[in-house]
Homo-oligomer: A and B are copies of this chain.
């Protein structure tokens, strides 16, 4: 990668254990299978509204998902299917949410862009660029005040680094020395515009880290070993009271920005180069080369496929949400009544 080679080479971290590697692979394979199905359902008109796939970016969510402890918090964006699954949220309610069914994770009230599962400490997917960085700080602040050994991880895209909330959030996290890890998934594109055309520095996150007194950390976001290592070290640092980290993970989305966008605005050779670096087959090859039994990998792949099939069935079988939900949960009494 040009951009990676431009930056000082970090020493390769030690490879994770075989068990961790298998978990990383399983996690990526599940995400991939899930999102391919979501795309099919979108084309069939069964996923209404919009959906933003993370196809190609799985290694980031997987690396963190495996490194996180159950008590840690995740905040992510509208492109959050992967991060949600990575926290162990079951597939069926996620699929059902995309389809606007009663079984949905939020019974259809949030939709694809707002996946949230508080029991899994998946604290929400946010659709206004930048806002959730400030909210994630609040969870980390709360952990600190409560003296709880929890860390908050907050994912966002390259384009997000140019909005005001990014700046406010990073500065506050640094000043308050919060236990938080900010993860910028630099997939080189905002919606249809390249990040390089609208950003004053080459590395939108790493290039800004010193403005918050932080070390620039640039990693290969398509390498699950690298994302896991970066996650483990940043989480440890945060848990030990070392304050925030800002990690820029270089990656690429295989498809378009959202819905049925074919992503045709991107140069063919750029797309081809990144497809060749698909995080899943490359990781599979690495595991096989390292002596992992291919049968085990095949079983992982088959299990993921079965899980997706089952989730799809369950979601399809679910009815549309109860219409009474329109008037529920505006307020904590369960209702929507603004008058008395």
Binding site for B on A (CB under 8 A): 162-168, 170-171, 174-175, 197-201, 207-208, 210-214
Chain B residue at minimal CB-CB distance from A174: B200
Number of copies: 2
Q: How far is the CA of A210 from the CA of B162 in the complex (A)?
A: 14
Q: How far is the CA of A175 from the CA of B201 in the complex (A)?
A: 9
Residues of chain B contacted by A174 (CB below 8 angstroms): 200
What is the chain B residue whose CB lies nearest that of A200? B174
A211 contacts which chain B residues (CB < 8 A)?
Answer: 200-201, 207-208, 210-211
A163 to B171, CA, bound (A): 9
Q: Given contacts A162-B168, A164-B164, A164-B167, are A198 and B210 in contact (CB under 8 A)?
A: no
**Interchain CA distance A214-B175 in the complex, whole Å:** 23
Contacts of A197 in B (CB 8 A): 175
Q: Which B residues are in CB contact (< 8 Å) with A201?
A: 210-213
- Whole-angstrom CA separation of A201 from B175 in the bound complex: 9
Q: Cα distance A165–B167 when bound, in Å?
A: 9
Kindly name the residue among A164, A168, A212, A213 whose own CB sees the greatest number of chain B CB atoms within 10 A: A164
Complex interface: chain B residues within 8 A of A171 (CB): 162, 198-200
Residue on B with the closest CB to A168? B164
Closest to A243 in B: B200
Contact partner of A168 (CB less than 8 A), chosen from B163, B207, B210, B212, is: B163
**Bound-state Cα–Cα, A208 to B170, Å:** 12
Specify which chain B residues have a CB less than 8 angstroms from the CB of A200 in the assembled complex.
170-171, 174-175, 211-214
